[in-house]
Structure 1
């Protein structure tokens, strides 16, 4: 048995955060429906060169949608705090001891003077490579969460569409059940018109008129195509990869057949079913706009 693939929505949101000694990284990915894949990034200037890698990762995993990715980094205070070079300070202390031994009256330097001595106070530099590596790992986590969220939302869309497809099939079956009544009604109406016009009821002419009426009222072909399109929508919902564009096309085909059915309607029951079909198709079409 072939594997069933899940429908994916284009609407989802994910957030991932990591705190460490160097600081806090936070990534947010938000996606909404869009005809094509449209990517936008908000990155700190120091991490701007990550954009090509992030863009490629999104292109590999997503096919459609407007996607906004925001990356924030806040360095820890201890990571920014300056530190004292112990070795350099020890050398200065040794030098001061030597000077004090030779010149006992020499003034000792103040603490601030010692800190200002070149090389004593070291400014810590953040490891940019480490930050970038952690940002990429965190992005992968956020992307997996986003894809999972799109799948969960897609499940709901798939269930809604499946229920509407059942309703479409029910309407089609109702119209099929009306067909004998429709034809009989047309025969009766034609006879009434002919009698009202006091036209001679020539049997051959009557049959010819009945054939024309039957052809105009015959919707078997439209009903068959509606069934075919419903089956194809169900099949598409189980296919691997993006399905939204194909499903949108099928909604157009379903709507075309519903409109033809409405134009051929000769009784109120058929008109009612055609209207209900168009409502159901429009409900599906609105939701399919969110399917990848």
Structure 2
């Protein structure tokens, strides 16, 4: 008889037995733990997204409030009044040495300049866009694309306001408005 080899011993029935039932129980326990872990991870992810969404809603709402306040400041700006335009025109003419001008003609020119610099339409649209943004934020849901569209509209109106500004104070309001609108647009990119 030849000496026993390892291969021969392992091949003898009963030397190594596989406990299929124990292995099956371990596999089931592992699968159960894995499934529970996945459920917890997904629940944590969903809650983290909700928390981020609440914080983002607060940020965007504050930006919409700031846009509304700047729009109101532009509307209330005394530089928009025809009298202010007339006074600036008179000061410019006086600085050029033209004091002999007809006051009626000066008034007509002031009215033309005031008409060109009138930002009433832009302010009305800004107010309407603010109302739309507030409605969307209150409605919730998938509003990211619509808010992105509003951000573009806010930007257009802010640009036009700056272009038509006939006074440094109105220009500053317009530039502040553009900055807030840009911040709003960046935040909106994170909304689903």
Taking structure 1 as the reference length, the TM-score comes to 0.53
CA contact 1:182–1:267 (8 Å) conserved in 2: no
Cα distance in 1 for residues equivalent to 2:27 and 2:127: 58
Q: Does 1:241 align with 2:141?
A: yes
Offset of residue 161 of structure 1: 1.6
CA contact 2:78–2:84 (8 Å) conserved in 1: no
Alignment partner of 1:237: what SS? helix
Q: Does 1:274 align with 2:169?
A: no
Question: Which structure shows the bigger proportion of residues in helix conformation?
Answer: 2
Deviates more, 1:132-141 or 1:264-273: 132-141
Q: Does 1:226 align with 2:126?
A: yes
Q: Does 1:150 align with 2:49?
A: yes
Question: Which of 194, 201, 212 is residue 102 of structure 2 equivalent to?
Answer: 201
1:45-69, CA deviations, whole angstroms, 9 ceiling, x for partnerless residues? xxxxxxxxxxxxxxxxxxxxxxxxx
Where do 1:130-145 residues align within 5 Å?
Answer: 130=28, 135-136=34-35, 138-145=37-44
Structure exhibiting the larger radius of gyration computed from Cα positions = 1
CA contact 1:261–1:274 (8 Å) conserved in 2: yes
Q: Does 1:265 align with 2:160?
A: no
Question: Which structure shows the bigger proportion of residues in strand conformation?
Answer: 1
> What is the aligned residue count?
183
Q: Does 1:173 align with 2:68?
A: no
CA shift in 2, pair 1:170/1:241, >3 Å:
closer
Cα distance in 2 for residues equivalent to 1:170 and 1:269: 15
CA shift in 2, pair 1:283/1:240, >3 Å:
closer
CA RMSD of aligned residues (A): 3.2
CA shift in 2, pair 1:271/1:252, >3 Å:
same
Alignment partner of 1:266: what SS? coil
1:123-158, CA deviations, whole angstroms, 9 ceiling, x for partnerless residues? 466659946676455434322221111110111111
Cα distance in 2 for residues equivalent to 1:137 and 1:268: 63
Taking structure 2 as the reference length, the TM-score comes to 0.77
Match of 1:31 in 2: none
Unmatched 5+ stretches in structure 1: 1-108
